[in-house]
Amino acid sequence: MHPTRAPVPLVSLFLVFFRVGLFSFGGGLSGWIYREVVTLRGWMSDDDFFSGLALSQILPGANVTNLSVYIGQRLRGPVGSVCALTGLVIGPFFAVIALATAYAQIAAMPWIQDAMTGAAAAAIGLLLVVALKGAYSASRRLVPFLILMATFVAVGLLQWPLVPVALGLAPVSIAFAWWKASSDA
């Protein structure tokens, strides 16, 4: 949380994550959360968001729930984490129960299939936006760019398993971030 700003209202935090949880599905949620939290509301910086996104992806569990807990914690502490996570999951919880009861009737409708195809395309677009912004952010400094390129080559081109690559590059990335933070202080 930025020290000169008023704290983000818990209701606002809940409603942002409620809307994201209720109106999105299948993927691309990190892109939507980025848009809501960083671009539209300015609650976090790019660096804070991408740090949380990276952390949420390496922790066990669903990335988006981890990200919501991280953002809630950064903005309002433990209560903010509970608000963000509750907002994210409560709408889909009831929506899934309602859709499960109507599934047999609506699954055969052609427009439902078209809507799902459109939602998938939108999710891919949002993920690309987040990936490109992250790559741009990393490309502004040499060491993060080299780590990004090493990961891309190892996993994307050489088809090496992600976990060993991440475990090999993580110490370099952490050491650089630690060194950068200590030199900036």
Cα(87)–Cα(68) distance, integer angstroms: 9
Choice among 45-49, 66-70, 128-132 with the minimum mean pLDDT: 128-132
Quick one: pLDDT at residue 109? 79
Percentage of the chain lying above the pLDDT 70 cut: 95
- One DSSP character per residue, 116-129 reads HHHHHHHHHHHHHH
Tokens 């952010």 -> residue: 137
The predicted-structure confidence for 54-83, as pLDDT tens digits, reads as follows 999 888 888 899 999 999 999 999 999 999
Cα(169)–Cα(165) distance, integer angstroms: 6
pLDDT score of 1 more than 50: no
Quick one: pLDDT at residue 84? 97
Alpha carbon distances (Å) from 115 to 38, 94, 157 = 28, 20, 33
What is the chain's mean pLDDT, rounded?
87
The predicted-structure confidence for 90-123, as pLDDT tens digits, reads as follows 998 998 888 788 876 777 778 877 887 888 888 8
Cα(169)–Cα(54) distance, integer angstroms: 13
Cα(130)–Cα(32) distance, integer angstroms: 9
Quick one: pLDDT at residue 40? 94
Measure CA of the first residue to CA of the last residue in the chain; give whole Å.
18
* Among 149, 164, 20, residue whose Cα is nearest residue 83: 20
Cα(35)–Cα(55) distance, integer angstroms: 18
**pLDDT band at residue 39, thresholds of 50, 70 and 90?**
very high
pLDDT score of 138 more than 80: no
In one-letter notation, the amino acid at residue 44 is M
Quick one: pLDDT at residue 2? 47
pLDDT score of 162 more than 50: yes
pLDDT score of 17 more than 60: yes
